[in-house]
Amino acid sequence: PSNRIPHTRAGPSLLLRFKFLLLLQKPYPPRIAGRRSSTPRKSSTVEGYSRQRASGGTVGEEVGFGAGMEAQATATVKEALAALYHHPDDTIRTAADRWLQKFQHTLDAWQVADSLLHDESSNLETLMFCSQTLRSKVQRDFEELPSEAFRPLQDSLYGLLKKFNKGPPKVRTQICIAIAALAVHVPVEDWGGGGIVNWLGDEMKSQQEFIPSFLELLIILPQETSSYKIAARPERRNQFENDLCSSANVALSLLTACLGFDELKEQVLEGFASWLRFCHGITAATLASHPLVHTALSSLNTDQFLEAAVNVTSELIHFTVSRDSCGITEQFPLIQILIPHVMGLKEQLKDSSKDEEDVKAIARLFADMGDSYVDLIATGSGDAMQIVNALLEVTSHSEFDISSMTFNFWHHLKRNLTGRDSYTSCGSEVPIEAERNRRMQLFRPPFEVLVSLVSSRVEYPEDFHTFSEEDRRDFRYARYAVSDVLLDATDVLGGDSTLKILFMKLIQACGSGAEQNQNWQPLEAALFCIQAIAKSVSIEEKEILPQVMPLLPRFPHQEQLLQTVCSTIGAFSKWIDAAPAELPILPPLVDILNKGMSTSEDTAAAASVAFKYICEDCRGKFSGSLDGLFQIYHVAISGVGGYKVSSEDSLHLVEALSVVITTLPQDHARRALELICMPIINSLQVSSNL
């Protein structure tokens, strides 16, 4: 069971240990929940529902659980829980945990859990286990109960809901989830005809002292519609969702009434966020003037309720663009009050005294606003550009987790600006092209700033060597994410223009001592970004790349930097082939790849791939350099000379030389092919003689 409580008292006696070990050797139980019948079980203690109710029956009696059996099973569960939480022997605790998990799947678990929850002497450990057990039974095993057990179960859960009104909170939450699951299973008629929300409203009005429990149930109800832990048939689940949609107005009225309790304000906002997905029949104009919306937006400027207010505001934003909404124009009354309140949080993004989680919540809100209203933003109105500038503020945040929240927005904005479908309302071809050019020019400055901002995100940290494998994986993911953003920028700015921005970063890094192997990280970061956009750069580019390529041999052979240098050479292989003859860059670049193959496995992998691309795209330039290429190949394949090329990477070298051979005359090609195959054949002969 989850949520284990640390031990608070001494372990069980030696006698109990022996008893429990003996118990573990026996299979549990007489009745296993998996053995279900297609017909409801009949109670062994009653003849019918009315007699059961008249005699004050329990859930256990409905499933045929005698008093003696109940006492025995209850005692065993208590012993197992004591062993789980307090026994000093790990083996005993593990066995107890396994036994209790198995017990939770039995039919007997219904009554034992119910009985111990009603028992005033049960401790917190017992209450947690039993509330989780009863919740999971209602969720997944409801159909194993006879039909007449519903009412006793409903009454019992209702009693427990009131009993735990003041806590423990985790126990109360489990009871609320159980009741919500029960509501998914049964039709509205079983709640008095008006459904569970109307039933809950009546209870809240008549028993206000239990409002905390009732409010939590109201919050959980819509959340459980998407829980597939509940083993309900699809048609029943769909009907429950429809019932909640029909009850949305009632739910909002109940939440509004709870605003009168200051101590419940956060829960009310949480409930409002949960219910907004079911407010299909409520117009944006109605919500714009709703007290709950006013409360949420005014709470954005409070530390105490910020997170809850952000959740509501985010759901309101999604509401205005949901598939059930009536079009963006009809949503303007709500949109026009949402955007100013969100924009009012901009300064808090830069507030160093602000809690990091609060900043994340605010950043998420800006990202949601950008993603949801990207079509409006792409029109380039004055208000739209203010939103874009605010999103650049989020992108500039020092924490990558916060900065990266905007990456989807930039991608969607790029698609909107470049996609033809965005301009269909402009009519014919001429106005479409004119509007497209206007927008592309308008958004150039923000995308230029974006390139400068994200390019620094790929810089290796000083303590990278101490990173765990998981941290290294996350860092690689961040670099790939930045690469995607840079490619989005090239679609708006053009590859050559983006290259100019990144080249300035490279020049700055060269002037910071990077060429002396000091502070190599900015240099590697700039070069990584340059190779990331290689496919977007024209092979006719004559301004920047003729300056970049001669720099590469001058860079230090620090491992990560060398790996990126090798990747850059491979990424620009087509440009290298098209480079002017007066720029003799190929020989020194091949020398770099040769160095990469002998530095580390990572640099060797990058160098091998780059070698393949260079040979494929520059094959015509190698006709007089075959001896040097074969020397590299033979040393790499033989494993001598300190080369670190793996068997897998050596295939890239075979492919590389095979391409070059195709440019040779037939006689020379046959001899070259023999030179490729001989190291492999010799290796096979040696292996066969072992």
Whether 123 contacts 85, CB under 8 Å: no
Point out the least confidently predicted range of 3-12, 175-184, 244-253, 356-365: 3-12
For 401-450, how does the pLDDT look when each residue is reduced to its tens digit (9 = 90+)?
999 999 999 999 999 999 888 777 777 788 888 999 999 999 999 999 99
Burial of 522 (0-12, 13-18, 19+ CB in 10 A): buried
Q: Rounded mean pLDDT of 481-486?
A: 97
Specify the pLDDT at position 449: 98
Point out the least confidently predicted range of 229-243, 404-418, 451-465, 537-551: 229-243
Point out the least confidently predicted range of 242-246, 369-373, 680-684: 680-684
State the pLDDT confidence band at 482, using cuts at 50, 70 and 90: very high
State the pLDDT confidence band at 330, using cuts at 50, 70 and 90: confident
State the pLDDT confidence band at 518, using cuts at 50, 70 and 90: low
352 vs 203, higher pLDDT:
203
Q: Rounded mean pLDDT of 299-315?
A: 94
State the pLDDT confidence band at 12, using cuts at 50, 70 and 90: very low
Which of 85-89, 105-109, 231-235, 384-388 has the largest mean confidence? 384-388
Helix axes 291-298, 248-258, angle to 10 degrees: 50
Whether 203 contacts 214, CB under 8 Å: yes
Q: H helices of 299-355, where? A: 306-321, 332-343
User: Which residue has tokens 């401790």?
Assistant: 123
Is residue 102 over pLDDT 70? yes
Q: Distance between CA 93 and CA 95 in Å, rounded?
A: 5
List, in order, residues 6 or more apart from 316 with CB less than 8 Å away: 276, 287, 293, 296, 334, 338
Q: Map residue 631 onto helix, strand or coil.
A: helix
For 123-182, how does the pLDDT look when each residue is reduced to its tens digit (9 = 90+)?
999 999 999 999 999 999 998 888 888 899 999 999 999 999 998 999 999 999 999 999
List 32's β-bridge partners, or say none. 106
Token readout for 346 is 């901009």
Specify the pLDDT at position 291: 96
Point out the least confidently predicted range of 333-342, 479-488, 665-674: 665-674
For 566-612, how does the pLDDT look when each residue is reduced to its tens digit (9 = 90+)?
999 999 999 999 988 778 899 899 999 999 998 999 999 999 999 99
Q: Rounded mean pLDDT of 257-262?
A: 91
Q: Rounded mean pLDDT of 544-559?
A: 94
Which of 190-194, 227-231, 604-608, 628-632 has the largest mean confidence? 604-608
Specify the pLDDT at position 323: 61
For 61-83, how does the pLDDT look when each residue is reduced to its tens digit (9 = 90+)?
544 445 556 778 888 999 999 99
pTM reported for the whole predicted model: 0.82
Specify the pLDDT at position 26: 43
Specify the pLDDT at position 192: 79
Phi, psi of 106, rounded to the nearest 5 degrees: -90, 160
- pLDDT > 70: percent of the chain: 86
Q: Distance between CA 509 and CA 563 in Å, rounded?
A: 17
Token readout for 97 is 């945990």
Handedness of CA 194, 200, 201, 203 (dihedral sign): positive
Q: Where are the domains of the chain?
A: 1-185, 345-442, 580-688
Q: Distance between CA 342 and CA 387 in Å, rounded?
A: 10
Burial of 54 (0-12, 13-18, 19+ CB in 10 A): exposed
Q: How many CB atoms lie within 10 A of CB 207?
A: 13
Point out the least confidently predicted range of 189-193, 195-199, 392-396: 189-193
Is residue 539 over pLDDT 90? yes
Is residue 113 over pLDDT 50? yes
Mean pLDDT of the chain: 85
